[in-house]
Amino acid sequence: MNVQETEQQLGIGFCKRQPLVAERGEGALVWDAAGKKYLDFTSGWGVTCLGHAHPVMRNALSEQAAKLWQNPNSGFAYSPVRAQLLEELQNWLPAPAMRTFFVNSGAEANDAAIKLARKITGRCGIVSTSGGFHGRTFNTLTVSVNQSSAEGFLPLLPHNQFVRFGDPGELEAALGADTAALIVEPIQGEGGVQIPAADYLAQARALCKANGTLLIIDEIQTGFCRTGKPFAMQHENALIEPDFLTMAKGIAGGFPFAALAVSADVAKQINVGDHGGTYCGNPLGCAVALAVLRYLRAHNVAASVAEKGKWLGAALTELQQEFPQLIVQVRGRGLIWALQLADDDMVQRLTVASMASGLLVTPTRNGIVRILPSLLMSDDELELGVALLRKAFSRASVAVPSDNNTLDCGANELQIN
């Protein structure tokens, strides 16, 4: 069997696969098993922030692998590299005296935050926003997108409520005596790169505090320079101090790793045994995350992303003007962008046409294609990516996939020296 046949026959098909056997990557480029080259505008859903196989990550991983892979008795033992990462995070966290616990994924970080918020407040209710996405564990699934996402996994968790994203009036009406927490993204990722008004999080912070409700800010997709700031919440004029801050994806550049930070007040109310995990704070993950965060800070990547984002936003807006019948709206900030297409079928057609041109994009529900380049992508590579998108839209406007169940990328035409 070849790779595709093996995965189709032996794996569980939770998603529709693209006909791409990714063999290796370097920087912004990916090669398939046949040696075809692609420009990656996905970053693995925003994970590979330094691009593929960056030397600082490879070196950190190999050096730590020669020392220790897993702590004896896991979290019962102290760890030098974990302590270094905790110190490095103090340069990033938006509020003073925040305490951090490392976990394995963004969903796990959000799940723990919800669990702890209920325990600390003695309340059950969780308010989330329509269009939000916070993970696929049972706890996080029922506060993601909308409740129809969880209907197949009955019974639904009670006491959860959705409000419109960016609407402080609706949020105020939803907060009640039984509301433990509000969980919210500063910019909705899976929801289509939806950006609220500049004071939305400040208003949400004030409303939560007045109601005795804890604020969980989910920066899993937007954190660590993705939007041109260390965290997306920092685009607001006011200082936002969340009770819980969840982080993942770009924190370790592609190594499965995440973190949950809590305010000083919340930390005082967490007891031994309230949470834990076998691989939480794994030395390999800590070493890679430490290398990534040090690199991002030392090279002032946030400022670079802000500048690249201005150019990319202008270029995508020009693309919309060229294809107004296909592109309804362009939304984004830094290096996270959404192309709102005229209909959902066009997403499939554009994904196919992009692969044929040698470009990988992220198809998203509700007629959206997301653009999530590496934070280190060069100006030339960004310019090439937009040129390939232009070619893909020209193709997509006339081409229809031959099989709705199979993406046929056709001949690869990418030329990169």
Catalytic residue among 101, 102, 133, 393: 133
Burial class (CB in 10 A: 0-12, 13-18, 19+), 16: exposed
Q: Provide the token pair at 288.
A: 């890679």
The DSSP code sequence of 73-105 is TGGGS--HHHHHHHHHHTTT-SSTT-EEEEES-
Decide if 133 is catalytic: yes
218, 224, 244, 308: the catalytic one is 218
Distance of CA 266 to the CA centre of its chain: 25
Longest dimension (CA), the chain: 61
Residue 218 catalytic?
yes
Q: Is 32 a catalytic residue?
A: no
For the record, the structure tokens of 308 come out as 């690249």
Q: Give me the amino acid identity at 141.
A: L
Q: Which of 36, 229, 249, 308 is catalytic?
A: 249
Q: Give the helix/strand (H/E) hosting 330.
A: strand 327-333
Return the HEC string of 341-400.
Answer: ECCHHHHHHHHHHHHHHCEECEEECCCEEEECCCCCCCHHHHHHHHHHHHHHHHHHCCCC
Whole-angstrom distance, CA of residue 138 vs CA of residue 378: 39
Catalytic annotation, residues: 133, 218, 249
